[in-house]
Structure 1
């Protein structure tokens, strides 16, 4: 639980360090993308510290491309 608190604190510090500079330069799109990635990274790190089962991205890629691979192999036979 303490590690989760520290992750949140570090994420807030990172946001306060970068977002004001981006606001000064009127980079709204960059702020949105930065915030999305920071949120995703923070959520994944908290999930890891809480020992949640986080799916591996390779599993999704394998699920999508296995039928395509099998179709291409069947064409070559």
Structure 2
């Protein structure tokens, strides 16, 4: 539990380091994208810490492209 809190503290320090300069330059889109990626990274790190099974992105790609591959192979026969 302490490591999860440590990850959140580090994420907050990173946010407080970068967001003020982005706000000063009025880069709202960059702030939104930065915040999304920072939250996603923190959530994935906490999930890994808690030993949650995270599926590989390659599984999704394989699921999507397997029917396409099968169709193309069937055309060549």
Q: One fold, TM greater than 0.5?
A: yes
1:14 CA drift (Å) = 0.3
Which residue number in structure 2 is paired with residue 29 of structure 1?
Answer: 29
CA distance in 2 between partners of 1:21 and 1:70 (Å):
51
Which residue number in structure 1 is paired with residue 16 of structure 2?
Answer: 16
Q: Which runs of 5+ in 2 are unaligned?
A: none
Which residue number in structure 1 is paired with residue 7 of structure 2?
Answer: 7
1:55 CA drift (Å) = 1.0
Q: Deviations over 1:2-52 (max 9, x none)?
A: 110110000000000000000000000000000000010000000000001
CA distance in 2 between partners of 1:27 and 1:76 (Å):
51
Q: Which runs of 5+ in 1 are unaligned?
A: none
CA distance in 2 between partners of 1:34 and 1:28 (Å):
10
For these two proteins, the number of residue pairs brought into alignment is 77
TM normalised by structure 1 equals: 0.98
CA distance in 1 between partners of 2:23 and 2:34 (Å):
12
Q: Deviating runs (4+, > 6 A) in structure 1? A: none
